[in-house]
């Protein structure tokens, strides 16, 4: 890749422009046709890309990190965790910043990179365009992985996606070329696997517009999922704000054995911490047990750390990471990381805010679910749980791959089980789908016969994309509404998440267990103790899975799927048609009018879990991610109304009639009535999608009042000018009735650390007062007053 420095504002930013070292000398830039650009093919001409040149840019990252840590150490005078080293090492102004306090201080940071997937990149790119800047200030990439639906296999599904989503792909490709963003085309693979193979660096700081961005923690990086507005800040060259995370330590001892895999570590941790136990914290794995994990296995653990609400997860730099860097043509990075090992590992004697210890020697394989990723079951007790709870025992579909578990190691271990079965004349008893994480992994496992092994047993290989993991699954084997069970090696299994069927019981396990279950066709099968029958009716037992951590023949990069940004993009045009149903240029939100919010209607009081899937569903709605008004028609349609225990059915306070949530919100907006939402605990857990904040803002909402927030959801609301407020007394949630009108007062004195008050007017005219707390700092209050963070950026740049 090409390295160097570009000017942005008043400070130089290290540019890691371009693609991977792994494809450094083989890429021919051969897929540039079909872009809606007013330019010729020559505009894509690029100098040959090369691996990292350690003395031109990466060494500057480590030099700055070392200099910052010298300053911070003098202020704190104590040992530092690894998470602290990387985060504080990226302070914008270490000299001028007070000593950071975990869980309290707001930090101004300078990330090294931004990564976006196609579903979230649409809105982020539209926001960046509206900021009026000529190019991104830090290395940025767009990855087309979310808009490819799984149905008929890789070739057919990718071809259909290219037709169905041509307008969006062309928009993203043209915007990437113009604004300096690398563009990974459909079929390249899933964003997090591409980042791990190409961009992740030990000790680096990256933000990504996907909640599973922490996958890069498998290479010792602090990689954090954010909303698009946060990405725009960094792309615009501004410092990025983060509350100093607490640090949860997970000490690993012992060694993984037989059926146990790295996936089981995070399944166990999820059971301990639950879906909100990691909120506001970085989970830092350490201890001698780390040495038994591969680099991609560490990435698996970090990836699914998003399910416990953690800011990110990470591992200390070690030889397993160096092996992976060398295998992916990044030996220069490994050499430089080896030289700065002291800043890439925790200090001896450092203290954690919470410490969990896991003995890998005794860790069992786990299966988590259904309907939530933190309901953990050891394999030895899973069949009993299936029976006791009446879950459908027949396994309809087993799915492996995804951004969480699609490494070469994962594929070879699963294939080892399939080969054993084939030798006995046994094929899959359930539908079995495999999603390669990247074109590089796909090409390599095809070369090494793994794809043919799966196919021989009846398996289907899907496109290199997210597919069923995010609801992009045109499933036809089970009618919607039919109870059934599936097991995946994915990371998330909320109700309806994978196939849109609320009766699908989705369980999460390692690829090896998924494969074993699919060979048996039953959830009650325990491969560690039970037997299968061969073609002659004789019983046999599967041997524990085995495989190669890295391919013995090296990685095959496969087809070239990368488009670099144009060398000069100022003359390029990015078109958004006025009549498009997929893309819509943004109109800035109105600034706060300086008045309290009086007599707001309560749009919905949400009962129980309210994930971003409940607030803004994925699946078929992904096609509208670039059109705010159209996608707003899915706002809160999955949330359960506390009044009637139904979804998408709320009472219109003006008419008295019941209707859909988006329709009712639009009615209020048309009649000049502001509205609020009341929610429960951990509101907005799950995806980083900022549409869950943009849609309420667009349809006239002013505040979300809950018991507690998931981190990204709270930040996204703040960025869009919504009030993100919490009950000072969580029991006050019960005092709110669906027919109440709510006034939020004290806004003229809105200040950091100062509560606000809600006056709740009942239908009989009585009023109760409820205290509301918040986590806004002075700058965030400025976003609220300006109408959004983007409005504030625009006004600051104009000044």
Calculate mean pLDDT across residues 504-513.
98
Evaluate whether 127 touches 272 at the Cβ level (below 8 Å): no
Q: How many CB atoms lie within 10 A of CB 449?
A: 12
d(CA 497, CA 264) in angstroms, rounded, equals 21
Question: 60 falls in which pLDDT band (50, 70, 90)?
Answer: confident
Question: 242 falls in which pLDDT band (50, 70, 90)?
Answer: very high
Question: 794 falls in which pLDDT band (50, 70, 90)?
Answer: confident
Handedness of CA 370, 376, 377, 379 (dihedral sign): positive
Q: Which of 174, 687, 743, 788 is catalytic?
A: 687
Q: Name the token pair of 501.
A: 């069927």
Q: Which of 17, 366, 413, 492 is catalytic?
A: 492
Does residue 29 sit in helix, strand or coil? coil
- Measured CA distances, 36 to 168, 171, 562, 572, 676 (Å): 10, 7, 17, 10, 41
pLDDT at 5: 22
**% of the chain residues with pLDDT over 70:** 93
Quickly list DSSP for 587-606. Answer: -PPPPP-SS-EEEEEEEEEB
Condensed to tens digits (0 to 9), the pLDDT of residues 782-792 reads 999 999 998 98
Q: What's the distance, Cα to Cα, between the start and end of the chain in Å?
A: 36
Question: Could you tell me how many residues make up the chain?
Answer: 799
Condensed to tens digits (0 to 9), the pLDDT of residues 643-692 reads 999 999 999 999 999 999 999 999 999 999 999 999 999 999 988 789 99
Q: Is 580 a catalytic residue?
A: no
- Measured CA distances, 596 to 323, 717, 775 (Å): 59, 18, 19
Nearest to 142, CA basis, from 160, 162, 124 = 124
pLDDT at 30: 26
Report phi then psi at 723, rounded to 5: -85, 120
Condensed to tens digits (0 to 9), the pLDDT of residues 163-215 reads 999 999 999 999 999 999 999 999 999 999 999 999 999 999 999 999 999 99
127 pLDDT higher than 50: yes
Handedness of CA 735, 736, 741, 747 (dihedral sign): positive
Alpha helix positions (H), 212-357: 228-235, 262-273, 295-304, 319-327, 331-339
520 pLDDT higher than 90: yes
Q: Which residue has the tokens 């002013």?
A: 702
Give, for 533, the enclosing helix (H) or strand (E).
strand 532-533
Q: How many CB atoms lie within 10 A of CB 355?
A: 12
Q: Which of 210, 410, 433, 680 is catalytic?
A: 210
Calculate mean pLDDT across residues 105-125.
95
Question: 4 falls in which pLDDT band (50, 70, 90)?
Answer: very low
pLDDT at 427: 98
Evaluate whether 768 touches 735 at the Cβ level (below 8 Å): yes
Q: Is 492 a catalytic residue?
A: yes
Question: 227 falls in which pLDDT band (50, 70, 90)?
Answer: confident
Q: Is 687 a catalytic residue?
A: yes
Question: 620 falls in which pLDDT band (50, 70, 90)?
Answer: confident
pLDDT at 686: 82
47 pLDDT higher than 90: no
Q: Which of 146, 475, 497, 505 is catalytic?
A: 146
> Please, what is the angle between helix 408-423 and helix 439-447, to 10°?
30
37 pLDDT higher than 80: no
**% of the chain residues with pLDDT over 90:** 86
> Please, what is the angle between helix 295-304 and helix 319-327, to 10°?
100
Does residue 408 sit in helix, strand or coil? helix
Average per-residue pLDDT for the chain: 91
Give, for 456, the enclosing helix (H) or strand (E).
helix 450-456
Quickly list DSSP for 636-705. Answer: TTTSBBTTTS-BS-EE-TTT--EE-HHHHHHHHHHTT--EEEE--TTBT-S---THHHHHHHHTTEEEEE
Calculate mean pLDDT across residues 513-521.
98
Report phi then psi at 79, rounded to 5: -65, 150
Q: Which of 102, 212, 627, 689 is catalytic?
A: 689
Most confident of 22-31, 50-59, 662-671: 662-671
Strand residue runs (E) in 88-174: 106-109, 113-117, 140-143
Condensed to tens digits (0 to 9), the pLDDT of residues 690-706 reads 999 999 999 999 999 99
Question: 8 falls in which pLDDT band (50, 70, 90)?
Answer: very low
Q: Name the token pair of 647.
A: 């979804």
pLDDT at 421: 98
Q: Is 689 a catalytic residue?
A: yes
pLDDT at 13: 25
Residues 6 or more apart whose CB falls under 8 angstroms from that of 593 comprise none
Domains annotated on the chain, with CATH = 366-540 (3.30.499.10), 597-798 (3.20.19.10)
d(CA 536, CA 553) in angstroms, rounded, equals 37
6 pLDDT higher than 50: no
Q: Which of 145, 233, 264, 740 is catalytic?
A: 145
232 pLDDT higher than 50: yes
Condensed to tens digits (0 to 9), the pLDDT of residues 576-598 reads 899 999 999 999 999 999 999 99
Evaluate whether 477 touches 485 at the Cβ level (below 8 Å): no
Q: Is 66 a catalytic residue?
A: no
pLDDT at 14: 28
Evaluate whether 263 touches 123 at the Cβ level (below 8 Å): no
pLDDT at 17: 26
């Amino acid at each position: 890749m090409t390295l160097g420095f570009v000017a942005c504002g008043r400070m130089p930013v290290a540019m890691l422009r371009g693609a991977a070292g792994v494809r450094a000398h083989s890429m021919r830039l051969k897929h540039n046709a079909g872009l809606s650009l007013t330019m010729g093919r020559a505009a894509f001409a690029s100098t040959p890309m090369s691996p990292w040149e350690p003395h031109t840019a990466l060494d500057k990252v480590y030099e700055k990190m070392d200099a910052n840590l010298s300053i911070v150490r003098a202020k704190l005078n104590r040992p530092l965790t690894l998470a602290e080293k990387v985060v504080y090492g990226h302070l914008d102004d270490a000299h001028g910043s007070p000593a950071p306090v975990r869980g309290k201080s707001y930090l101004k940071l300078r990330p090294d990179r931004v990564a976006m997937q196609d579903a979230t990149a649409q809105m982020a790119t539209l926001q960046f365009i509206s900021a009026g800047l000529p190019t991104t200030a830090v290395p940025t990439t767009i990855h087309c992985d979310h808009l490819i639906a799984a149905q008929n296999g890789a070739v057919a599904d990718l071809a259909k996606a290219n037709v169905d989503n041509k307008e969006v792909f062309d928009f993203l490709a043209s915007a990437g070329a113009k604004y300096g963003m690398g563009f990974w085309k459909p079929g390249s693979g899933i964003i997090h696997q591409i980042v791990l193979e190409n961009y992740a660096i030990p000790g680096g700081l990256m933000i990504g517009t996907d909640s599973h961005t922490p996958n890069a923690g498998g290479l010792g990086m602090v990689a954090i999922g954010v909303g698009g507005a946060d990405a725009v800040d960094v792309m615009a060259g501004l410092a990025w704000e983060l509350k100093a995370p607490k640090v949860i330590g997970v000490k690993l001892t012992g060694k993984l054995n037989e059926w146990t895999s790295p996936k089981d570590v995070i399944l166990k941790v999820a059971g301990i911490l639950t879906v909100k136990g990691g909120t506001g914290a970085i989970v830092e794995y350490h201890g001698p047990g780390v040495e038994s994990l591969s680099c991609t296995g560490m990435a698996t653990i970090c990836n699914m750390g998003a399910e416990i609400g953690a800011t990110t997860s990470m591992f200390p730099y070690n030889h397993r990471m160096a092996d992976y860097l060398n295998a992916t043509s990044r030996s220069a990075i490994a050499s430089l990381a080896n030289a700065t090992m002291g800043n890439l590992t925790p200090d001896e004697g450092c203290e954690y805010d919470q410490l969990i210890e896991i003995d890998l020697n005794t860790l069992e394989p786990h299966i988590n679910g259904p309907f939530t990723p933190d309901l953990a079951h050891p394999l030895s007790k899973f069949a009993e749980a299936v029976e006791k709870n009446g879950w459908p025992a027949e396994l309809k579909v087993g799915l492996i791959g995804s951004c969480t578990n699609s490494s070469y190691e994962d594929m070879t271990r699963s294939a080892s089980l399939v080969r054993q079965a084939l030798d006995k004349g046994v094929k899959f008893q359930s539908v079995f789908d495999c999603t390669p994480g990247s074109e590089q992994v796909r090409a390599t496992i095809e070369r090494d016969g793994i794809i043919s092994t799966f196919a021989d047993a009846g398996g289907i290989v899907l496109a290199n994309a997210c597919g069923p993991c995010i609801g992009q699954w045109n499933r036809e084997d089970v009618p919607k509404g039919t109870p059934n069970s599936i097991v995946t090696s994915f990371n998330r299994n909320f109700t309806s998440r994978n196939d849109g069927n609320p009766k699908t019981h989705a369980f999460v396990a390692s690829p090896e267990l998924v494969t074993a279950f699919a060979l048996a066709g039953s959830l009650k099968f325990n491969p560690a103790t039970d037997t299968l029958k061969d073609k002659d009716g004789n019983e046999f037992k599967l041997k524990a899975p085995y495989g190669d951590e890295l391919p013995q023949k090296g990685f095959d990069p496969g087809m070239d799927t990368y488009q670099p940004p144009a060398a000069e993009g100022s003359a390029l045009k990015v078109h958004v048609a006025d009549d498009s149903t997929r893309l819509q240029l943004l109109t800035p939100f109105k600034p706060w009018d300086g008045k309290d919010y009086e007599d707001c209607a309560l749009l919905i009081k949400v009962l129980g879990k309210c994930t971003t899937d409940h607030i803004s569903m994925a699946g078929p709605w992904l096609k509208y991610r670039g059109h705010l008004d159209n996608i707003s028609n899915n706002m809160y349609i999955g949330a359960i109304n506390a009044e009637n225990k139904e979804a998408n059915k709320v009472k219109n306070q003006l008419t008295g009639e019941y209707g859909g949530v988006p329709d009712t919100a639009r009615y209020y907006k048309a009649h000049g009535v502001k509205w609020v939402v009341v929610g429960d605990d951990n509101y907005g857990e799950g995806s980083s999608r900022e549409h869950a904040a943009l849609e309420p803002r667009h349809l006239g909402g002013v505040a979300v009042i809950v018991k507690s927030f998931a981190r990204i959801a709270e930040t996204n609301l703040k960025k869009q000018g919504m009030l993100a407020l919490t009950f000072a007394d969580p029991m006050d949630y019960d005092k709110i009735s669906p027919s109440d009108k709510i006034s939020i007062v004290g806004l003229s004195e809105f200040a950091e650390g100062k509560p606000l008050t809600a006056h709740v007017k009942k239908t009989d005219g009585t009023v109760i007062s409820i205290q509301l707390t918040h986590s806004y700092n002075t700058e965030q209050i400025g976003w609220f007053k300006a109408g959004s963070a983007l409005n504030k950026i625009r006004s600051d740049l104009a000044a």
